[in-house]
């Protein structure tokens, strides 16, 4: 079932993580903790109450972020996916971005005041943008999906609207990174490099997060919408 | 490394847009291009104004009241390609850089697109240049939160000249946000006490949702 050299639920969780350390981020957002010994992916998921198929599908998107072909993902649990996306938003807004900002602030202590302010201002504008992007999903998209799952009549919204306006939030982080690399008049490089490493991984992580929404959530919801409208036509 | 090329695909048909997009994705497997989808003339206008695409692939029937000549004036570096679903007068197609027909073979389409991308990439390599003195003046005004209209008045330039300067600044520096330009200006010491601008006019600075970069100085 999980072809394309992908992972199965009978693989060991430890092997999966050692081969793809970025899965650590996915794991913690699903609420899975370390210390699982030699258990398989399936066992660890079941013990934590995580839907195995959804977990593996999200892992796949993270491991193959650029792979747009073959979107033949197995059925995911929409509830589990929404719960995961919600925790991811929380992670980016309340942990990841503030953490980068704090490190940035620490590095900038040694710089001219105006430069420090200019860089932090850029970062804050970016964080506001990310927060707006995610708030839209939390306040408009997720409630719509929950209503759809609850069998309530469709409101005047469809997942196609989301798909159309869903922009790539990581792109501006790319610009930020490039500005720092090209123009930062650095004395000591160790500290700023460490922040850059964080920004690089955060950018990748945000891109993967967006992919999860585009490649797992959108197709799953489109399918439900189609089933509902077919049912509606039959009864009408 | 330069920013990804931006390709806007404007056609009312979903099938045509997605078809073009998937061909681009095949050619550019590593995806260093950003694809923008457009399905009506209003959206076309907004995207051209705000996103500055490098390549516009447009179905001529989607132009509405706009013309290719107009685009040429406003975005001279942008490549315009006609996307045809029917026969068209070849004279009318002369204004475009290239024409792709719905009936072109896969090989023809791929060849045209590869050429186009290669051409644009050559263009971008020359982009990193130093700013001219006039561009520096405009840059300072921009980061102090002045609108294009206010800059035109202050520097006694036409609105369009200021727009062109702004576009060139962004293209040369590969920075597309005011906050980013502010970092560039500070890092390169373009902003010092001697060229400190007076704060912008009272009537023009209330519309920004975030603190303008002018708060820095």
Structure tokens at B122: 């050559």
Residues B105 and B138 in one domain: no
Confidence of residue A43 (pLDDT cuts 50, 70, 90): very high
| Letter string b/e over residues A213-229, b meaning 16 or more CB atoms within 10 A of that residue's CB | bbbbbbebbeeeeeeee
CB atoms within 10 A of CB A80: 20
Residues B23 and B121 in one domain: yes
Q: Which of A53, A63, A60 is nearest to A21 (CA)?
A: A63
- Helix (H) or strand (E) run with residue B33 in it: strand B33-38
Ranges of each domain in chain A: 13-63, 78-235
| Total domains present in chain B | 2
Residue that is last in its domain, among B125, B156, B191: B125
Confidence of residue B31 (pLDDT cuts 50, 70, 90): low
Residue in chain A closest to B212 (alpha carbons) equals: A121
Residues B98 and B142 in one domain: no
Q: Are B120 and B55 in contact (CB under 8 A)?
A: yes
| Residues within 8 A of A (CB atoms), B 22-61 only | 25, 30-31, 34, 37
Residue that is last in its domain, among B72, B94, B125: B125
Q: How far is CA B172 from CA A27, A183, B181, in A?
A: 42, 14, 11
d(CA B168, CA B161): 10
| A43 exposure class (CB count in 10 Å sphere: 0-12, 13-18, 19+) | middle
Q: Are A31 and A50 in contact (CB under 8 A)?
A: yes
Cβ neighbours of residue A107 under 8 Å, at least 6 residues apart?
Answer: A191, A192, A195
Yes or no, beta carbons of B184 and A121 under 8 Å apart? no
Q: Are A210 and A169 in contact (CB under 8 A)?
A: yes
Mutate to test the interface with A, among B35, B186, B214 (most CBs of A within 10 A): B186
Please list the residues that pair with B81 across neighbouring strands: B57, B98
| Letter string b/e over residues B35-44, b meaning 16 or more CB atoms within 10 A of that residue's CB | bbbbbebebb
**Model confidence pLDDT, tens digit, residues A194-216:** 898 999 889 889 988 988 888 88
Q: Are A222 and A159 in contact (CB under 8 A)?
A: yes
Higher local confidence (pLDDT), B185 or B30: B185
d(CA B137, CA B155): 8
Q: What confidence score (pLDDT) does residue A65 get?
A: 62
CATH code of B170's domain: 1.10.10.10
Which domain does B84 fall in, by range? 5-125
Residue that is last in its domain, among B125, B143, B167: B125
Yes or no, beta carbons of A119 and B177 under 8 Å apart? no
d(CA A55, CA A52): 5
Higher local confidence (pLDDT), B209 or B144: B144
Higher local confidence (pLDDT), A129 or B204: A129
Residue in chain B closest to A122 (alpha carbons) equals: B179
In Å, how far is B67's CA from the nearest CA of chain A? Answer: 26
Residue in chain B closest to A167 (alpha carbons) equals: B36
In Å, how far is A210's CA from the nearest CA of chain B? Answer: 15
Residues of B in contact with A112 (CB under 8 A): 186
Query: Which residues of A sit within 8 Å Cβ distance of B?
Result: 66, 68, 112, 114-115, 117-119, 121-122, 124-125, 128, 164, 168, 171-172, 174-176, 178-180, 183-185
Average pLDDT, whole number, for chain B? Answer: 80
**Model confidence pLDDT, tens digit, residues A9-41:** 889 999 889 888 888 989 988 989 898 889 999
Q: What confidence score (pLDDT) does residue B124 get?
A: 56
Give this prediction's pTM.
0.66
**Model confidence pLDDT, tens digit, residues A160-187:** 888 888 878 888 888 888 888 888 877 6
**pLDDT at residue A92 tops 60:** yes
Residues of A in contact with B176 (CB under 8 A): 175
Yes or no, beta carbons of B188 and A183 under 8 Å apart? yes
Q: What confidence score (pLDDT) does residue B129 get?
A: 64
**Model confidence pLDDT, tens digit, residues B186-207:** 888 787 544 455 444 444 433 3
Residues B94 and B35 in one domain: yes
Q: Are A189 and A45 in contact (CB under 8 A)?
A: no
Q: What confidence score (pLDDT) does residue B25 get?
A: 83
**Model confidence pLDDT, tens digit, residues A50-69:** 999 899 989 988 887 665 55
d(CA A56, CA A42): 9
Residues B78 and B137 in one domain: no
SS3 label, residue B37? strand
Mutate to test the interface with B, among A65, A183, A215 (most CBs of B within 10 A): A183
Q: What confidence score (pLDDT) does residue B208 get?
A: 35
Mutate to test the interface with B, among A68, A108, A118 (most CBs of B within 10 A): A118
Please list the residues that pair with B99 across neighbouring strands: B82
Q: What confidence score (pLDDT) does residue A153 get?
A: 64
Residues B40 and B115 in one domain: yes
Residues B143 and B121 in one domain: no
Q: Which of A32, A55, A62, A30 is nearest to A44 (CA)?
A: A32
Residues of B in contact with A171 (CB under 8 A): 34
């Amino acid at each position: 079932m999980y072809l394309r050299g992908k992972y199965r639920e009978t693989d060991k969780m430890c092997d999966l993580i050692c081969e793809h350390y970025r899965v650590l981020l996915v794991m913690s957002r699903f609420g899975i903790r370390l210390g699982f010994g030699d258990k398989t992916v399936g066992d660890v998921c079941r013990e934590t109450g995580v839907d195995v198929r959804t977990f593996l599908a999200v892992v796949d998107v993270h491991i193959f972020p650029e792979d747009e072909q073959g979107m033949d993902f197995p059925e995911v649990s929409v509830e589990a996916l929404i719960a995961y996306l919600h925790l991811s938003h929380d992670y980016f807004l309340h942990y990841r971005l503030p953490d980068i900002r704090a490190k940035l602030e620490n590095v900038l202590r040694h710089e001219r005041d105006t430069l420090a302010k200019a860089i932090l201002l850029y970062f804050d504008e970016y964080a506001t943008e990310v927060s707006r992007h995610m708030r839209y999903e939390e306040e408009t998209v997720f409630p719509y999906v929950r209503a759809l799952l609850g069998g309530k009549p469709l409101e005047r919204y469809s997942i196609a609207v989301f798909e159309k306006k869903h922009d790539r939030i990581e792109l501006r982080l790319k610009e930020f990174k490039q500005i720092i690399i090209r123009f930062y008049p650095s004395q000591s490089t160790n500290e700023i490099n460490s922040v850059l490493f964080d920004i690089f991984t955060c950018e990748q992580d945000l891109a993967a997060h967006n992919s999860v929404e585009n490649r797992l959530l959108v197709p799953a919801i489109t399918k439900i919408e189609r089933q509902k409208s077919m049912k509606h036509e039959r009864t009408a | 490394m330069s920013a990804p090329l931006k390709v806007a695909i404007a056609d009312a048909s979903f099938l045509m847009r997605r078809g073009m997009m998937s061909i681009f994705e095949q050619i550019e497997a590593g995806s260093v291009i950003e694809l923008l989808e457009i399905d009506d003339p209003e959206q076309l206008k907004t995207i051209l104004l705000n996103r500055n695409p490098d390549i516009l692939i447009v179905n001529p029937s989607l132009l509405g009241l706009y013309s290719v000549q107009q685009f040429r004036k406003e975005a001279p570096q942008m490549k315009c390609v006609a996307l045809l679903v029917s026969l068209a007068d070849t004279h009318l197609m002369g204004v475009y850089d290239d024409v792709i027909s719905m009936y072109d073979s896969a090989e023809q389409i791929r060849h045209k697109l590869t050429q186009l991308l290669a051409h644009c990439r050559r263009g971008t390599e020359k982009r990193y240049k130093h700013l001219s003195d006039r561009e520096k003046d405009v840059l300072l005004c921009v980061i102090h939160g002045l609108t294009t209209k206010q800059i035109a008045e202050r520097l006694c330039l036409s609105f369009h000249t200021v727009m062109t300067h702004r576009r060139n600044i962004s293209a040369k520096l590969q920075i597309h946000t005011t906050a980013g330009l502010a970092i560039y200006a500070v890092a390169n010491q373009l902003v010092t006490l001697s060229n400190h601008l007076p704060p912008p006019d009272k009537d023009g600075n209330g519309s920004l949702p975030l603190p303008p970069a002018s708060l820095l100085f």
